[in-house]
Structure 1
């Protein structure tokens, strides 16, 4: 049984807080191509034009990925909420069982990640002032898609007869897997037509069928969303430590006016920016109703544990809001106390001046 199709290796990074795609297109010298789902799977509400990524390609030296040479062209997608996704393509025409070895070699591939990071850094330099708060984050998310043409056997027969092989491809595992592990790996299943199959796992996905471009775009979006969740969670961790430091300083005031107001304002601005960023990439894909692509997105969300990430981020945002409120309340009370003391001192000074003997002119 031969696997014919294309392998896509996705690597997603965060480049900054926000990217102006119009200015980015001008600096890169590329046109903003229309990017929308084709709706062949039903009616979906498309993402707004402002949230669609800027896609373009650039030539690269081919890398050896999984023993196969990748294409000489790198597909790059830039998202308005600060993310970039690099897509390496590999032509596939090999026995299905050999995809296991390809997956193993691609899993946590240091050479690939280093090359992708260098490409992301080059893109960031080209973008210049199109990026707000530019910085290539350490967080990276890589994901592998195998988009295969219909195989020699029906999909139903493939699922029943090659379950462990499919699980080992998805899990990048050379050795045998337990029945429980196989069931867990194949649990993320969805299909639209009788000759189609989509299997989604945490490291990779298997797409079988013709015209699977929509499914690939959804999986790219979820990969980008995952790296943004990781990036935002890491930023919130650092700011929480800073906020706790400000709260400790607020308990040891210097003349009633600590911490500095600019520190508090910076904390409030960061809390607001983080909430907006979370909302922006959380709403990047607007697919409503009982639509196939919406259900695929929900499946990816479950496999990538978006719910747990969202809960953790919302809890940290709430903690930041609570700390900011406490610091602001304490600062307000201390300013009020300071004003009261000033009024008292002025009152005492006025009394003293009244009783002091006046000098004759």
Structure 2
């Protein structure tokens, strides 16, 4: 008697997905900010950001608390209909701002969320609105900025899809989120990679895009990719994960800004070392000395806003997003360029010392000759 072929059990159908898409934009606006307290920005009161942490973590948690404003909500017509858009702006002590835009959704299938990438409204696109808001914030912050940028550079953007848990089927059964994650891995990968055609997404890409996921309780999961992330959790617990992702995004933006600063400085250094005058080299030495001190301090401040060490949940999330952003590689690249700056500084310093030694030796010889002339003249 032949065995009957195994019947594949179909994945349970989720009743609906409710949540919000959070768009995070980081801008470098200045070298630093003054210590003068900011009480108002864009006509809104400035408050200190705070959050409640729910997952297990150290008793004494160090998390930087930036100043922030919450803008009034605005109504827009999105790809799935009318939405109420929430916006916040955070001020970071490293001369950066982080703008967060939250757009709610309710869909039947995960694939429907792909349209929220590069969000378009009926009256324009989200990107243009965020750039305009960033310019307004930069202009309003000018009295508090130290060496502000002449114009806004490229922002660092990151998109986070937040789905409310628990997930329920049509008949009201609750689904374990990690099981749902494995069942819908291809759909999640398609969402994170902004790939509308799920059928053509390879298994390797699906596993690579969703490989860095973390779960703490049976009703939550965080899937982190390089350009987007998915959070399935209780809505009251979104904030802690979003803030970690936001800080990592700011770090990436600032590291890119430091890297550009070093590239420009090194280009001037090579040019001036090759054919600069003595005065130009002296000015170059002063500039190199300032760059060394400035970047050492900025690097320290950048590290201070994200002191996530250990195996607790937020630390693991930060480690995953750091790996996706290659923050360690950025740090290594900047350290190597700083070493090149140090080498150039030592070279110029040695060259200056050699010139002074030559001048001193010539002066000693000249004084000796003058002494001999006076001695013979006296005879």
TM-score of the aligned structures, taking structure 1 as reference length: 0.88
The C-alpha deviation readout for 1:46-101, integer Å capped at 9, x for no partner, is: 336xx421111224765666566664542000100111011111011122220122
**CA apart distance, 1:31:** 5.2
SS at 2:23 equivalent: strand
CA distance in 1, matches of 2:330, 2:83: 33
In structure 1, the residue corresponding to 2:102 is in which secondary structure?
strand
Partner of 1:54: 67
State the match for 2:260 in structure 1. 234
Is 1:149–1:208's contact at 8 Å kept on the other side of the alignment?
Answer: yes
Q: 2:162 aligns with which of 100, 125, 147?
A: 147
Residue 111 of structure 2 is matched in structure 1 by 97
- Does residue 334 of the first structure (1) align with residue 352 of the second (2)? no
Distance apart, 1:340 and its partner CA: 1.6
Give the 3 Å change call, closer, same or farther, for CA 313–36 of structure 1 in structure 2: same
Q: Secondary structure at the match of 1:17?
A: strand
Cα distance in 2 for partners of 1:234, 1:68 equals 41
Structure 1 counterpart of 2:229, from 176, 187, 205? 205
- Which of structures 1 and 2 has the larger relative contact order (alpha carbons within 8 angstroms, sep 6+)? 1
Alpha-carbon distance in 2 for matches of 1:142, 1:69: 24
Aligned partners of 1:55 and 1:75 also within 8 Å: yes
How far apart in 2 are the matches of 1:11 and 1:86? 5
1:344 alignment counterpart: 365
Contact 2:44 2:71 in 1 (8 A): no
Distance 1:325 1:111, change over 3 A: farther
Q: Is the 8 A contact 1:36 1:46 kept in 2?
A: no
> Does 331-340 or 61-70 show the bigger shift?
61-70
Distance of aligned partners of 1:19 and 1:258 in 2 relative to their CA distance in 1, 3 Å threshold: closer
**Superposition pairs for residues 15-34 of structure 1, below 5 Å?**
15-20=29-34, 22-25=36-39, 33-34=47-48
The answer to whether the Cα contact below 8 Å between 1:103 and 1:170 also exists between their aligned partners in 2 is no
SS in 2 for 1:43: coil
Q: 1:31 to 1:245 in 2, by over 3 A?
A: same
Gaps in structure 1 of 5+ consecutive residues: none
- Number of aligned pairs? 348
SS at match of 2:340: helix
| Higher strand fraction (1 or 2) | 2
Cα pair distance change 1:69/1:338, threshold 3 Å: farther
In the other structure, the counterpart of 1:119 is 133
Q: For residues 261 and 77 of structure 2, what CA distance do their matches in structure 1 show?
A: 34
Matching of residue 42 in structure 1 with residue 30 in structure 2: no
Q: How large is the RMSD of aligned CA atoms in angstroms?
A: 2.5
Superposition TM-score, scaled by structure 2 size: 0.84
Query: Which range moves more in the overlay, 26-35 or 319-328?
Result: 26-35
